[in-house]
A and B are shown apart, each in its own frame.
Chain A
């Protein structure tokens, strides 16, 4: 039988390393991708992931399974970290990140599929969506990332964002409207816009 998150957390807090590694394996992708979509930067996502799990090590007892899923709890912690980092970075102009390989593009990105043209079009379409999401004000972006990208329920998103479900619903509506507007504008302006990573909105 697969142990629940709450059970793993209990074991982890009791010092079981396997429980910690299993919890981390289950949720690291979720936290990392949330931070990546919110910030547009791999380095921020990396830092946020590390901070979130360090906080879980330190303050894991604060999590109450009766209030909601660990997934939502971790996303809430990640959201707070992202906002904190974004606030710190506000005065700075962000430069396009280099990859770990000293600026080289990972090989996987250089290999195209059977249809390079459609691959290219798909990547471009995805880039536009990410760029448009990053340009949204944070309060709409976080709801869209949680509900649409992570496919969380409104209740889980509400827990992560520490707000009522109705607020999640209304922000999602407003966020979609803004996102559609931005995507229409992006399509009209063609794809000559700068890289998504430099377009984050701090509103």
Chain B
């Protein structure tokens, strides 16, 4: 082995990652007869030792807890949104297309909810406190809420806030033409959260696929599974959805 050949191996020799035992032995023998290559190997080993000292110093470095929390919230939001929009059976070669479609629907719902929340905040900085509390109903904290029959009507919650965004207000007036709205009780979207402990809540009306009913244990008619259904979503101050009720 000459110095040029050794140079090709120097790094792997220093890293102890040379798999070919013969090449490794030849390289080490070369360092015994060539002081320049021996120094080169020592230099590489010293460099790696320094690099690994830095790596050891950084070994405990991890992202702060706020990143953990943000990602967990994103995971939960995505799981909730996806679950309520992926009941359309995908088959054959359309599976991929269907999953894209579901993702798009989920994203659309989230964007709609966020846009409504932002719009609401900007148009109605003084949220009527009485109504906020009215939509933080006690049944939300009922441990066996999923097992409870869905036929309970929340009469207090049928009352709409007085200053809704235009789009919601128009819908509310349209709904008034259909006489009385029938609503379910509120179903919590986050397990174990006590909504009464939150400072303020907002309600926005959205449209979801009827399949979303199944996510809270309500019966879904297979024939109308893709048809939209109105729902009121309770948003916390952070803009995250906390509870939902369905409207007919």
Contacts and interface: CB of A to CB of B under 8 A. Distances in A.
A183 B47 contact: yes
Given A29-B62, A33-B58, A100-B64, 13 more contacts: A15-B82, A17-B76, A21-B72, A24-B71, A28-B67, A28-B68, A33-B61, A37-B58, A57-B75, A58-B78, A126-B53, A130-B54, A183-B47
Size bracket, chain A contacts: 35 or more
| Main secondary structure on A side of the interface with B | helix
Contacts of B151: none
A186 B82 CA distance: 53
A179 interface: yes
Contacts of B75: 12, 17, 20, 57
A176 interface: yes
B74 A57 contact: yes
B83 interface: yes
B90 interface: no
A134 B75 CA distance: 33
Interface string A26-60: 00110011001100000001100110011001100
Interface in A166-184: 172-173, 176, 179-180, 183
B54 A126 contact: yes
A61 B83 CA distance: 17
A21 B64 CA distance: 15
Contacts of A96: none
A149 B58 CA distance: 10
B63 interface: yes
B71 A53 contact: yes
Contacts of B64: 46, 100
Contacts of B52: 148-149
A139 interface: no
A172 B11 contact: yes
A173 B51 contact: no
Given A20-B75, A57-B75, A172-B11, A46 B67 contact: yes
Contacts of B70: 50
Contacts of A86: none
B50 interface: yes
Nearest to B82: A15
A95 to B, nearest CB: 20
B63 A45 contact: yes
Contacts of A36: 58, 61
A129 B54 contact: yes
Contacts of A120: none
A148 B48 contact: yes
B132 interface: no
B67 A50 contact: yes
Interface in A88-135: 100, 122-123, 125-126, 129-130, 133
A144 interface: yes
A9 to B, nearest CB: 13
Contacts of A176: 11, 44, 47
B63 A149 contact: no
A5 B201 CA distance: 39
Contact of B63 (A28, A126, A179, A183): A28
Nearest to B78: A57
A123 B58 CA distance: 11
Interface in B33-64: 43-44, 47-48, 50-55, 57-59, 61-64
Interface string B72-101: 101110110011000000000000000100
Contacts of B74: 54, 57
Contacts of B51: 129, 133, 144, 148-149
- Best-buried of A53, A122, A123 by chain B (most CB within 10 Å): A53
Contacts of A58: 78, 103
B83 A149 contact: no
Nearest to B99: A61
